[in-house]
Chain A
Amino acid sequence: MAELKKFLIRRLLTFVPTLIGATFIVFIIAVMIPGNPAQLWAGGIKASKQTVELLIKEYHLNSPWYVQYYYFMKNILSGKAISPVTNTNIWKSITTRLLQVTLPLTLFSFILIVAIGIPLGVLSAIKRNTWIDNVARAFALIGISTPIFGIAYILIFWLQPHGLVALAGMPLPKYKITGIPPIDALLKCDCHYLLIFVKRMWLPAFLLALAGIGVITRVTRNSFLDAMSSEYVVFMEARGFPKRRIYMHILKNSLTPVITILGLMFGGLLAGAPIIETIFGLPGLGRYLLQAIYNFDYLTLVAGVFFVAIIYITVNLLVDILYGVIDPRVRY
């Protein structure tokens, strides 16, 4: 346990530089825009001189870039930053969209990936070189190769007449515990809300998960096959273990690479959200950031990247801790 504590402290020390670095990269890209951002924010050529001046002053646009960055980060972290384009509090707009839409969506996808990808990979490995294996492998490759933005339209068109997908409306429950609607509903056992949520979200979440399912199926299969050829499997056979028990041992042994990829994948899901949110009209963070990019609202963009990076780094920290739980040989 003392080891774990040391490890966590060490990781926290690298946490901050990584966050600064990540936001910094985006910031640098953003200030590369030629011309005057204040002019763009104020509404283009027609903007009044006064407004532009005001914006320049408020966002320190005439100062060197590091001063700009400092004020940006200070405002964002204090929760006071106001977007120059939408005139709303950035912290609030981002957190509500993240908690109410994007996080439920990505978590749903994540659950689908784990629930479909891992069993499919295990099945594929156990039935190696049979038609089941071939079907699973082909399915995995299809998942990786599918352009979700095209297939989404076709699936909506196909499923909507049957009432299988809901395309509009995502009411919020009346209560608030964690701020993440489906989790709150689960805590309150509000099946009615959960049903609405699933009906609205299953297709977007599935499409978002599709590539991930493919990747996890492949990784699980290969890792399971590797573990299957270990000597301890033969020794378990030699002790008369039932097949199911042996497979559980193999699964646990093959999990390390799988959770590594799962951790890395979480960020990919957050990044894939803009596409899905745009197609399905979900008012989430991805779509919001996309809008910010269109509007050159780089304050919002940097803040968005900041949040995404925090989630991403936290998830990967959890993965590293999980290693130690699964594998006693891991030393932090």
Chain B
Amino acid sequence: MPEYVYVKNPLDKLSDAIIDAYASFMDKVKPGWKSKNRGRIEEWKLMFYTLNRSPLGIAGAVLVAFFIFLAIFGPYLAPLSYRTGLVLCDLKARLAPPGTVITIPHKDYCIRMGVHPGKFKFLLGSDNYGRDLWSRILYGARTSLLVSILVVSIGSGIGIILGLISGYYGGIVDEVIMRITDMFLAFPGLILAMALSATLPYAIQGWFKRHMEIAEILGYLFAVKRIDYPALASLLSVIIALWAVWWPGYTRLVRGSALSVRENTYVEAAKALGVSDLSIMLKHILPNMIGPILAYITMDLGGAILTEAALSFLGLGAVPPLADWGRIIYDGSQYFPYAWWLVAFPTLFIFLTVFGFNLLGDALRDAFDPRTRRSIEFKVKKIVAKEEAQEA
């Protein structure tokens, strides 16, 4: 007779520790939080156990963590800045294949660019200006992450709010919101985003001149040198363009679930007790669909990276000399197939990052799905029983 004895793996213990730490933190801030939310903490732990049991999900989490690491520390780790072209120092630096080593001479114009004389190795090759591809990819990670976070957070935020309002109130409000949503869904988003990101930069550049502080903040976030601040207008217009096309999908998704949750007795009960609409929406309706939405958002972060890279590839996103993965491919494609590295490496980085988000999102969806979680739940119940037995 096979017996199913189950032992927590180190990842389970780690996630337990994180959740417990968070719980004690919340308990300090709001005394009594822990005992009030015992069920929820248990639920979170279960979700992590499910996640820990999915090899693909772990692989996705590792890829995502690696990408976030690159995005945060990349600009500091990069051997050169994104705009340093070494072609003037050594002609061999132009379109150098991966692994090429050049010697940088003791010349003023080289040193002024912030390069140390001596040997320099192009780890992943260089482009036609002699810029280091590896450095540009590191800077590009920052661009990708920031754009996708800004796009998805605001885009989904707008969509979720509109969807909640639409689904909760129904009637004429619902009708108006859904008609507008349908209008946006009626033509392909990418074309709208293309049109927007082509026309917006002019307006934004003028706006930047009047509000330098905005450019400063963005420049700091995107790790861009002061001289390139005007170029940031292109990134900001991509972000705004994607906001315009990102929300309708969420509105549809959230409205559908809000409609079904609204019918539940506890929502009626809350209404009868005189709980305000806002707090019913935030405390009773939203938490009930947060799982699928989170999984969707995770996969969407990858989608935003891909879309932004596609726009940049079409010449409608980041403008030179900004480091952007899509733009690197676009610029590099002119030297293809000789300079294959200019296309291959950014493609690989985009793929791995988006793949990571998709793997993680897929595993999260499983973890949030009560049907798939049930099987794990059994195991965990046994652990709990075992631990209680040991304590007793």
| Touch test A–B (CB under 8 Å) | yes
Cβ–Cβ contact B350 & A150, under 8 A: yes
The winner among A19, A147, A153, A272 for most chain B CB atoms within 10 A is A147
CB–CB A157/B187 < 8 A: no
Q: Is B184 interfacial (CB-CB < 8 Å)?
A: yes
User: Are A30 and B195 in touch, CB under 8 angstroms?
Assistant: yes
Q: How large is the interface on B (under 10, 10 to 19, 20 to 34, 35 or more residues)?
A: 35 or more
Kindly identify, within residues 290 to 341 of chain B, every residue whose CB is under 8 Å from any CB belonging to chain A.
Answer: 299, 302-303, 306, 309-310, 313-316, 326, 329-330, 333, 336-337, 340
Q: Which of A30, A154, A289 contacts B344 (CB 8 A)?
A: A154
Q: Is the CB of B186 within 8 A of A313?
A: yes
Contacts of B196 in A (CB 8 A): 29
Binds B, one of A47-55, A136-144, A232-240: A136-144
Q: Are B343 and A312 in contact (CB under 8 A)?
A: no
Evaluate contact between A18 and B186: CB separation under 8 angstroms.
yes
Is there an interface contact between A153 and B202, defined as CB atoms closer than 8 Å? no
Instruction: Indicate if the CB atoms of B202 and A34 lie closer than 8 Å.
Output: yes
Bound-state CA distance A26–B188 (Å) is: 12
Q: A151-B347, A157-B337 are in contact. Are A278 and B314 (CB under 8 A)?
A: yes
**Stretch of B224-232, B255-263, B355-363 at the chain-chain interface:** B355-363
Is A294 an interface residue, CB under 8 A from the partner? yes
- A312 cross-chain contacts in B, Cβ below 8 A: 186-188
Q: Which of A86-121 contact B (CB under 8 A)?
A: none
Stretch touching chain B among A2-10, A194-202, A301-309, A323-331: A301-309
B351: Cβ under 8 A from any A Cβ: yes
Q: Confirm or deny: A182 has a beta carbon within 8 angstroms of a beta carbon on chain B.
A: no
Q: Is the CB of A147 within 8 A of B351?
A: yes
The B-contacting residues of A in range 135-174, CB under 8 angstroms, are 137-138, 141-142, 144-147, 149-151, 153-154, 157
Asked if A290 is at the interface (CB within 8 A of a chain B CB), the reply is yes
Question: A30 — which chain B residues lie within 8 A by C-beta?
Answer: 195, 199
Q: A22-B187, A271-B189 are in contact. Are A147 and B336 (CB under 8 A)?
A: no
Q: Which residue of B lies closest to A23 (CB)?
A: B187
Bound-complex Cα distance A317 to B25 (A):
53
CB distance from A260 to the nearest CB of B (A): 11
* A181 part of interface (Cβ distance < 8 Å): no
A25 / chain B contacts, CB cutoff of 8 Å: 183-184, 192
Closest to B345 in A: A150
In chain A, positions 273-332 with a C-beta closer than 8 Å to chain B are 274-275, 278-279, 289-290, 293-294, 296, 298, 301, 304-305, 308-309, 312-313
**Residues in B neighbouring A301, C-beta threshold 8 A:** 195
A257 at the interface (CB under 8 A from B): no
Q: A179 contacts the other chain (Cβ, under 8 Å)?
A: no
Chain B 167-204 interface residues, beta-carbon cutoff 8 Å to A = 179-180, 182-192, 194-196, 198-200, 202-203
- Given contacts A32-B203, A157-B336, is CB(A149)–CB(B192) below 8 Å? no
- Asked if residues A145 and B314 are in contact (CB atoms below 8 Å), the reply is no
Which residues, 121 to 137 on B, are CB-close (under 8 Å) to A? none
Q: Are B343 and A153 closer than 8 Å at their CB atoms?
A: yes
**Which residue, of B182, B191, B196, B306, has the highest number of chain A Cβ atoms within 10 A?**
B191
- Given A293-B194, A293-B198, CB of A21 within 8 Å of CB of B183: yes
Nearest chain-B residue to A151 (Cβ)?
B347
CB interface residues, A 210-233, toward B, < 8 Å:
none
Tell yes or no: B56 within 8 A of A by CB. Answer: yes
The reply on A35 being an interface residue by CB < 8 A is yes
CA distance in complex: A268, B309 (Å): 16
Is B313's CB under 8 angstroms from A146's CB?
no
Q: How far is the CA of A17 from the CA of B179 in the complex (A)?
A: 9
- Which residue of B190, B200, B302, B336 is within 8 Å of A145 (Cβ)? B302
A145 touches B358 (CB 8 A): yes
Q: Are A271 and B191 in contact (CB under 8 A)?
A: yes
Query: Are B194's CB and A290's CB within 8 A?
Result: yes
CB distance A275 to B359 under 8 Å? no
- Across the interface, B192 reaches (CB within 8 A) one of A29, A154, A157, A275, namely A29
> B92-104 interface mask toward A, CB cutoff 8 Å, 1 = contact, 0 = none?
0000000000000
Contacts of B343 in A (CB 8 A): 150, 153-154
Nearest neighbor of B184 in chain A, beta-carbon distance: A25
> Is B254 at the interface (CB under 8 A from chain A)?
no
Q: How far is the CB of B388 from chain A (nearest CB, A)?
A: 31
Instruction: Please tell me if B117 contacts chain A, counting CB pairs below 8 Å.
Output: no
A293 to B315, CA, bound (A): 11
| Additional A-B contacts beyond A26-B192, A271-B188, A296-B199 (18; CB < 8 A) | A25-B183, A25-B192, A32-B200, A34-B202, A137-B362, A141-B358, A141-B359, A147-B306, A150-B329, A154-B347, A157-B337, A267-B188, A271-B190, A271-B191, A275-B313, A298-B195, A305-B191, A309-B187
Give the top 8 A-B pairs by smallest Cβ distance, nearest first: A150-B347, A271-B188, A271-B190, A21-B183, A145-B355, A145-B354, A267-B188, A309-B187
5 of the cross-chain contacts (CB-CB < 8 Å) are A21-B180, A34-B206, A146-B354, A149-B326, A305-B191
- A binding-site residues for B, Cβ under 8 Å: 17-19, 21-22, 25-26, 29-30, 32-35, 134, 137-138, 141-142, 144-147, 149-151, 153-154, 157, 264, 267-268, 270-272, 274-275, 278-279, 289-290, 293-294, 296, 298, 301, 304-305, 308-309, 312-313
